[in-house]
Each structure stands twice: as structure tokens, then as C-alpha cells.
Structure 1
């Protein structure tokens, strides 16, 4: 056998570019075909090797003694015998032939190995997840755990000599389409033995624990998620977050920061920070720090492109950074200080600015409300919040956190929406976007801020349409017409045709005149009584009069009888 064995068209760790792989007695190496930095692995660091089918043919997976995984993909089936002799003769390792499960089941057994998590179906591996690719994990539900994968395009540019392959995301960055999250459903409980002393067999105590919680704790330990406490540059405890809602501890590291809560735990790279804003709250008691992220933070099915923290204005802190003087003078010169004794929100801002190297954005100085504040109290649909006018964009916080750049704004419309009472004291702003029909509406803004907003938008060169003044002019014209109409009605009112109302009044007057001028005597008029009593023309008239007098007597008797009835009723009720 020759001293060197070479293989062409081999891909290292799922890379797009192929290269030449060479094996020798002292180790192996890979060099990209187009030129570039070569990768080498010493024979003493080769712990095990596996042969299996892969995307580009067959793959040799090498498990390092330092818990790393190397994947060489692109071999042909006939290369197995040749490679088996190489590993047996030079490295004293058996090239194990691994057959993957092809059943397609989504249930199986998860096993924690030295360098990777293996999901097996019927004792055959279905897929493997190297610990180096796991960036974070969270308990997403009662029996559900979410595993997030690192995305780091710059990892391969950092060099991969020897054991330097522990950089997160080195394989996930191989393609445009990347797997960023996977979820496992783990029901039931399990027992965990607590051994004390040397005798861990019979005297071990068994503790019942949720299987998903044990899986979570084991994965955090194996994947080494988050740096150790000694690597923490600064820590802020129990910080109130408005988005996502809750209290989190903030651990700040060299390249990332971590949010630790009771339920969720996030690790965020500083490279993901795209915007950093410090916004004073209009209550003059708090400051809000808003951090824009890309990719956004995920909590279950919800995505949060902005993190909103809230700090008390007068809360001060004394902090010494966990960093050496050499690093402070070299890497963080003019960016960080070793000691801080200032308000808490300022210290957090300074450290984020120094570590993430991001510009701090504050509200524009050219705009203030009628109460001399930067935040405008308003609402998006049913969510109340505060709108800030920055130098280059609008920002609405806390939820839903909305960022609108002035460059993307087509026009702004002031309008009055709502009932008669609210419309007099508030107005709405509708921001129309360029190149689309989308718009954002901010409602219930105080009427006294209209002039200041209109002047600020014109100062920024934005197109403004004020429908409130148009409505006011139309309303004034309508009120003027109504006043003229009512004054004309007062002048010509008696001559105007008012329908049946005038007819009723005229008929009443005629009846009144008819009663006074009529010669016909009514039944109970005095003229009628005098005529009836002096008439002797017939006996019929006399009989009629007598009958009427008899009826009158009967009526009087009935009245007396009715008058005596109420006392009887009172006795019955008593």
C-alpha cells in the first residue's frame, strides 16, 4: 500500500465546494479544488469511523476524541474496501458499516452519544444531530422541546485546523435553505438515579422526573449551550421585558448575549442585532430599550423581531466588568470601561454598544409633544402604546413593535375617525407604504399634537394630507347653511305651508267662533232651560220632563249607595 491514498470530488462537512482528500499514516487532510485553506486531522485524534449512505453517494463520518464530528461525503461504493484497509492498517480503527432506517417513522428513541444526538428507529439511526450545530433549546410545551440550530456564515472563515471545528453552525451554513429548528414530543416520566459515594448500585436513590425535563437538562449539558459563568462579561438580573412579556436575566458574553427566564432561554448573537434604540417613556419614570433582531426571536409559533426592555429612570447600578485589563486595552479600547456607576439603562446601553458595536438611536430632537415629551400615546387597533418619531423612521412600542422607515413611506394622512365627542379631541394617522397597498394606522392621538406632527413631517420631506381641516371646512359650511335656513324660517314662518299643523289651528279657531255666535241652544244651556219650563204646547213635553226628573232622583240614590261602599271595603281589608 502506498504511503498516501487520495480521493477526488470529496465534500467536507456538507460544503458546496468539493476537494481532494488524502490519507496518510500520521492523519488525513482535505483541500478545496478551487484553492483555499486546507483542513488536517491528526491520527491521534481519530476515535471512531462510520461508513453510510449520504446525499452525494457514501460518507465517512469520523468521531474525534475531542468530541467533534468530521463528515467526508462523495465516496463511491467500491471505495469501502480500500478505506476499510486504510483505517485498519494506519489508525487501528474498524470502519463500521452503518445502515440508516428508511421507514420514515417520526417516532423512535433519542440517544445521547459523545459527539451527537442520534434518533433511532428499530435500533437503526434515522438521523444524527451534532452537538456543535445546536445553538439553543427551549421547553416549548408541557411535553415538547424545541432544538434550534446555529446559523453562522462566517464560521468556516475562522479556520479549521485540528480541533478548531467546534464553531457553531459550520455545517448549517453550507446552503441557502437551512434547517433552523426541530421539535421533539417526549411524554411520560422517567427515573433518574442519584448515587452517593462509591456504592451506586443498591443504595442509589431513584427520583421520578418528567422525561422532557431530563432530555432538556441533558441536551444543555452535552451541547454546552451558553458559555460558562467565568466567560460572562456582565450580568443583569430580573430585567422586565415588555416584548416578549416576562422577566429575564441578561448574561452578556464576548460574541452573544443570553436571556434566561423561568420558562424560556434564548441565546442571541450580536450579529443578529440590526437596530438598537433608547426611548424615554412619556411617564417620565421609565426608559425603554428596543433591540431589532434579524432573524427574529422565536417563542413557539410566535416571532419577535424586536425585544423591548423597560428600566426605571432613577435606578442606579454599580458594576465591574469581568474582563482583563489586557483585553480592555486591546480589543475593547475606547468601547468599554472596567467600572460603571450610573443609571441602569445607561450601563446596559454602553455595554451593548461596546460589545455589539451598534449605533444607538434616540428620538429626533426636532419633535416634541404638547407636554414636551418624545413619545405620542396612541394605539394600533386595540393595542395601546407609544409612537416615536426618530430621525429616519417611526417606531411604535411595545406591542406590536412596529418600525416604519421614512424612505418606505409614500404619504401620511391625518383624519378624524370616531364619534362626535372623541373626534373633537383626537385624530388618526395613516401611513401609506411605497409600492404596495399596505398601510399602518395609529389612532387616538391627542388633537393638540396635530400641528407639531404636521410641521415635523414636512421638515422630513414627507407628503402630508390633512383631511381634518377639510372636514372642519365642510362642517362650518354646513352649519352656516343651517343657520341661514333657520333665520329665514323665523321671518316668513306664519306664511309658510306647514301642512296639517296649520289646518288644525284654523279649525280650532272656527269651532270657537261657532260656539259664541250660534243661535241654536244646547241641551244644558240656560236658553234651553227657560224655553222648556215655559212651554205648555203638549203633554208629551211635560212627561219627558218628569221622566228626566225621576232619572235624576235615581242617579242621586245610586251615588249615595256608591259613597257608602268604600267603608265596607275598608272593614273587609281590616
Structure 2
């Protein structure tokens, strides 16, 4: 394709300067735009980067009032460009050249600006539209990453770069029961081919059963009520905690997923041991080249297959607990956090509490304090432990007293500072006097033996 910024190659060119390319990833970019008979080019004023759109790739061009003067939306086969700050006197010229060069009929789309609270939801090619007789707003279907039904509402989730402000969720009151199904089919969610699906897995946190659908670039977590799209690049850590009969797989995601008003940085999956399942995959040449280790058939224990698949797609090494053992050769400790009974898993670089996942990395632990360690076993068979981080603290109670030595060694080996509270077992003077008097009294057993 010709470079439209080379004067020798420009015949008939329409130049539009000091425009803004709206972008959720990099903020608004200040650009100059050029329209030519062979396509469109945009030049970033700050860094000089040039983006070109071939004539044959232009699918649709629309004009409407924007946040800055007029907005031009260019829809291609793979991308959408929103360009703001177009002067009104340029509109007629843009309409003429687009019709002549690209054979696209361009008009200024009227927008509803008065009655914006009540409308109907419709589908229009690549967009979800909310409108009366005029358009109120529309959403590109490719931007919808999750959709679910909560009571009488359709909940739409969107990707958003956490460094910039943006909409991550929208709720629509839609009476049509088939709306969610239709939206899934039309959006990218329904278009992406699944590679392998794990059905009805048990989520401990967030609670419920979900299908885990692995595609080329992300996992789609589909529950009865909620749906999430988790990019493989968003998975920061995978931890496997294996017990005698069950296995917990902890998945750390950033950005977090949201259900209701609660955000979850950790997904806690529970697998029962002894459950086997066979999988057969349909692999094309692109998948084979991108994931050469991917096999056509998987069999064996379900949790083992899940670990293999998530390791392969995320390129993350699974972390296991190998550095701590109790006196009964377990990798966890029974304890309680307030009224919640659970388990503590000391691993190589953190301490994890389950079932509600609390992740305490060693680098964030300021101090670990032990209480009631030196109290007589006749008085108490357990002790308490407080883990103090730089922004919070957690008091774990009812830990078996026999496990203190293992915990003390674990934190010492990990260079985590500990402190043991010493309970003085001194008897107050008044009690000492009473004890002396009792000891000097005649023995009741002796009296009885004398009878």
C-alpha cells in the first residue's frame, strides 16, 4: 500500500488536522487524518506512528455529533476507529469523497438527546443498539466479553485497561428471555471456537458450578448466572494444593473478576480425586503451530488434565506445596479465622487460607505472633497465630499445639520475623495463702480411711 504521507504519491487527498483518535488502551491520541482514493491514513502527532486502512478493508463510515464537534467512526473487518473533533464545514466534503472513492453512502446519524432513559434494545450488524426512533447509544458486539442473566437484567461485561477509566459492566432490563442467548451468539463470545471444555467444575470461590471453556486466547467461565472471560495473560499464578481425597487449584487473576458487588482476585477450584475423564481435541494447523505441546487426546484424572491444559495455555508453571509438613505428614493445618473454620497452607513464598482464599505473600508479612504456646496442655491443646501484613492482620485460632515447632521452623527458614508471647504462670499471693491453708488441712481421704 502506498504511503499517503509521501507527497510524491498523493494525488487527491483530503487532510483533516488536530483530530483525536479515541482509544481505551492509550488514552485519546492526537492525530492528523488523510483520506485518499486508495484508503485512509492516520498519523500520531506525538510519536509519528502511521496507521493505514486499505480501501477494500473499509466496511462502514458513519458521522454523528461527538464529545468534540463531529465524530467519524470507521469500521473495518477487524477494528473500529472513532475519530473526534471534525469541523462541521468538512462534513459535506467527507460525504462526497467517501461516496466517490469508497462507494460508501455516508450521512450524519441523528442521536436522541432528550428522551434517553427509555428505549428498546436491538441488534444492528456489528452493534448492540439502545434507541427510540433515534439512536441513544450503541456498543460494538466485539467489545462484549461476558453476558449473563441476573433476575430480570442482562449483565454485559467489557474489557477495560485498569490504567484508564472506562465502562466494565452494563445492566439492561430486558423482558425478552432470548436476549442473552442471542447476544452470546452475535458477540465474540459465540464466535470463538472452543478447544477443550471442562464441564460443571466445582467453584468454591466464587461459589457455584461452572464450565471452563478454553479457547485460543482466553478461558470462558460460564456459570448458571454469571459469565467471565479471563485472558491467559491475566492469569498471574496457579497454585495446586493436594490433599488426601481432594485437590484445590487456586488461580490468581489480575484484573479481578466480579460477581454481584464482590471482586475476586483468586478462583478456588475443588476437584475430587479418582474421577477420570477422556478428552478428544480437534486441532488445526494454526493451533498445532501455536501450541506444539497440545495433544489430540487426554485421559486420566480430571484434575491432572486440567493442570496440564492451563499450564500449556497460560505458560505459567504450577506451584505446589513442598516446603511444609505437619507431624502427620500433611501440607496443611486446621484452624479457624473468626467463625470460619478452614485450613492454612504454608507454601514456598506465601501462606494461604482456604476455603475463602486469603493469600499472604512472605514479602508482605511484617510479623507473625504466636499466643498461648507455653500454656499447659491440660489447660489448652491449641494455640493462636496472628499474621500481621503491611495493610492488615489475621488471627488464626485453634491450631494444634503439636504443630508449633513445624511452623516456627517454616517461618524461620523463610526469613519471616516471629514473636512468641510468654504467659506468666505465677500465682497471686492471695491464692498462694489459700493453697497453703488447704494443704495444711487434714486430708479428707485420710478421714474416710480412718472410719
Question: If the length of structure 1 is used for normalisation, what is the TM-score?
Answer: 0.68
Cα distance in 2, alignment partners of residues 67 and 116 from structure 1: 14
Please say if 1:350 is aligned against 2:308: yes
Q: Does the Cα contact within 8 Å between 2:217 and 2:232 map onto a contact in 1?
A: yes
Cα distance in 1, alignment partners of residues 125 and 367 from structure 2: 59
Q: Does the Cα contact within 8 Å between 2:255 and 2:265 map onto a contact in 1?
A: yes
Relative contact order, higher structure (CA 8 A, sep 6+): 2
Q: CA deviation at 1:337?
A: 4.0
In the alignment, what sits opposite 2:447? none
Secondary structure at the aligned position of 1:232 is classed as coil
In the alignment, what sits opposite 1:312? 272
Cα distance in 2, alignment partners of residues 25 and 133 from structure 1: 30
Please say if 1:182 is aligned against 2:131: no
Please say if 1:123 is aligned against 2:122: no
Cα distance in 1, alignment partners of residues 438 and 400 from structure 2: 39
Q: Does the Cα contact within 8 Å between 1:68 and 1:132 map onto a contact in 2?
A: no
In the alignment, what sits opposite 1:361? 319
Cα distance in 2, alignment partners of residues 69 and 337 from structure 1: 36
Tell me the matched-pair count. Answer: 427
Residues 151-206 of structure 1: CA distance to partner in whole angstroms, max 9, x if unpaired?
3x6xxxxxxxxxxxxxxxxxxx8x711211111122x4xxxxxxxxxxxxxxxxxx
Residues 254-284 of structure 1: CA distance to partner in whole angstroms, max 9, x if unpaired?
2111222222222211111111000013xx1
Residues 67-102 of structure 1: CA distance to partner in whole angstroms, max 9, x if unpaired?
864322221122112212222333344331223222
- After superposition, the CA RMSD in angstroms is 2.9
Higher Rg of the two aligned structures: 1
Q: CA deviation at 1:325?
A: 6.8
In the alignment, what sits opposite 2:446? none
* Structure 1 pair 62–336 and aligned structure 2 pair: CA distance change class (3 A): closer
* Structure 1 pair 95–379 and aligned structure 2 pair: CA distance change class (3 A): same
Q: Does the Cα contact within 8 Å between 1:226 and 1:258 map onto a contact in 2?
A: no
Cα distance in 1, alignment partners of residues 35 and 260 from structure 2: 46
Cα distance in 1, alignment partners of residues 395 and 54 from structure 2: 59
Q: Does the Cα contact within 8 Å between 2:368 and 2:387 map onto a contact in 1?
A: yes
* Structure 1 pair 219–456 and aligned structure 2 pair: CA distance change class (3 A): same
In the alignment, what sits opposite 2:449? none
**Where does 1:188-227 land on structure 2 (aligned, <5 Å)?**
188=175, 211=176, 213-227=177-191
From 438, 441, 444, the equivalent of 2:395 is: 441
In the alignment, what sits opposite 1:380? 337
Question: If the length of structure 2 is used for normalisation, what is the TM-score?
Answer: 0.86
Q: CA deviation at 1:344?
A: 1.9
Cα distance in 2, alignment partners of residues 148 and 326 from structure 1: 29
Secondary structure at the aligned position of 2:148 is classed as strand
From 194, 207, 214, the equivalent of 1:252 is: 214
Please say if 1:427 is aligned against 2:436: no
Residues 464-491 of structure 1: CA distance to partner in whole angstroms, max 9, x if unpaired?
1222xx22xx22x228984564225654
In the alignment, what sits opposite 2:352? 395
Greater shift, 10-19 or 265-274, is seen at 10-19
* Structure 1 pair 489–352 and aligned structure 2 pair: CA distance change class (3 A): closer
Q: CA deviation at 1:492?
A: 9.1
Secondary structure at the aligned position of 1:78 is classed as helix
In the alignment, what sits opposite 1:458? 412
More strand by share: 2
* Structure 1 pair 50–265 and aligned structure 2 pair: CA distance change class (3 A): same
Task: State the 4+ residue runs in structure 1 displaced beyond 6 angstroms.
Answer: 419-423
Gaps of at least 5 residues in structure 2 are 1-10, 443-451
In the alignment, what sits opposite 2:256? 296
Q: Does the Cα contact within 8 Å between 1:336 and 1:350 map onto a contact in 2?
A: no
In the alignment, what sits opposite 2:228? 266
Cα distance in 1, alignment partners of residues 329 and 428 from structure 2: 35
